[in-house]
Chain A
Amino acid sequence: MNKTEYDYIIEIENVSKTFTGGVEAVRDFSAKIRRQQVVVIMGPSGSGKSTLLRCLNGLETPDNGAIVVDGIPLDDDKHHRLEIRKEVGMVFQSFNLFPHLTVLENVNLAQMRVRKKDKAAATQRSTELLQMVGIADKVNAYPAQLSGGQQQRVAIARALAMAPKVMLFDEPTSALDPEMINEVLDVMKVLARSGMTMVVVTHEMGFAREVSDWVIFMDGGQIVETGTPECIFTNPQEERTQRFLSQIL
């Protein structure tokens, strides 16, 4: 079977992760994510959302269970891991831009080193992406010269430059001042409508309602409840979900 014929781009089967020190961050977690879906993960702080997300591109290694990304098993095989790292983009809460490189250089780097493009080709693609995220006039600035919202948009462009098949977002707006949250969410909405597969950890209900296909509510490393945003937000079944939603509203 051709791997692009897989229905699910990410399959998570019985994944568990316990940190040294005994914290069981993710417990026997299973889920499947379809192509072009936008999945939002919510849950209280410490419920294992980041750990789960980081397992999906190999930043954390699960103790048990299996993860398959686009038909490639995420195992000890270095080639598999590299293939998955190339196909899965990640956006962090703290942006993690390279402070010594300009905006353009940040977006060019992986294209040139990993995709082996020459500088002109990389720059052309970077310029398009930076235009899309609305940073076209700041290509030669350094990250420290940008606002938080601008930095996060550059970070999104940098991840997109690898032309990933999936994008992971770990609370991309949590470190931002309130007035900058929307400029980042707007870029993510455009991306979602363009058909990008996205797994987003966020507490932004508006975003989840508007663009997500599926919401997973997590607590204690496990799925408490899943469903369409309508179901979860208007008619949550579980008491823990209700309590959490009433807190963030």
Chain B
Amino acid sequence: MKRRAIFRSPWKDIAQFALLIIVAVWLLSLSTARLGYYWQWYRIPRYLFRVVDGRLVAGELIEGLLFTFKISGVSLVLALALGLATALLRLSDSFMGRILTRLYLEVIRNTPLVVQIYLVYFVIGPILGLGRFASAVMALSLFEGSYISEIFRAGIVSLHKGQWEATYSLGLSRFDTYRDVILPQAIRRILPPLTGEVISLIKNTSLVSLVALSDLALQARVVAADTFLTFEVWFTTAVIYLAITVPLSVAVHALEKRFKVLT
């Protein structure tokens, strides 16, 4: 009984969510009718896909989505590397290393991401000679890296200290200990929260539209402004984000369930 409470099926949540959307749309259609809003859903598909010269090409929204994928992917790889390095440095014997990582974490955690994006874009980027894309990637990686490092650290310290003692008494180096014993176990444990962080990274990329990078959010703004299809465009955009994040969220649940059973 207790297990059921912990491992609630995500499908129930999704069904509830779908119901909520239907009710919201219904309420909205009532109020838009009063506003005199004139729904024109038929004009939306061409911003997803259109046929040019007999070939299917991506519309603005899908192009924005692909860009969102690209920037999320690059940032994720860098954030994982940075997060792991930060976690290892924090757990190391190096005094300087611990001070530096502490400073990094405090600064990133206690300022808004928007401010960080602007700061990197307008100040640090030009100093380092970074382009717009590189600046945005840097800001996102620094931000996500700080959260991911905490997840790595928690995963590493959650392992029984007997694992360290066993590798110590076998003569394994610190590097081998991490590579062969600690990280493989830690990564299994942190996969669920790590996937959660991927979701938050994808959502956070929408902020790069502030520095005029043509991700999904910016494309939506442009299309909405061009066509006055405000409601249709933003609903579609929300659904696209959900189409990526909900499956990931389901994956998180599934992973949590599997690894809880295993350990």
Interface residues, chain A, with chain B CB atoms under 8 Å away: 57-59, 82, 85-86, 88-90, 92, 94-101, 109-110, 113-114, 158-159, 162, 168
Contact = CB atoms under 8 A, between A and B. Distances in A.
23 contacts: A59-B168, A82-B171, A85-B168, A85-B169, A85-B170, A85-B171, A88-B169, A89-B169, A90-B166, A90-B169, A92-B165, A94-B162, A97-B166, A98-B163, A99-B185, A100-B185, A109-B172, A109-B180, A110-B171, A113-B176, A114-B170, A114-B172, A114-B173
B165 A98 contact: no
Interface string B162-191: 110110111111001000110011001000
A109 B170 contact: yes
Interface size class of B (residues with CB under 8 A): 10 to 19
Given A92-B162, A94-B162, A114 B169 contact: no
Contacts of B163: 96, 98
Secondary structure at the B interface, as helix, strand, loop or mixed, is helix
Interface of B: 160, 162-163, 165-166, 168-173, 176, 180-181, 184-185, 188
A110 B165 contact: no
A98 B181 contact: yes
A94 B160 CA distance: 10
Contact of B169 (A59, A95, A100, A101): A59
A64 to B, nearest CB: 22
A99 B163 CA distance: 9
Contacts of A114: 170-173, 176
Given A109-B181, A113-B172, 4 more contacts: A59-B165, A82-B171, A85-B170, A90-B169
Contacts of B165: 59, 90, 92, 96
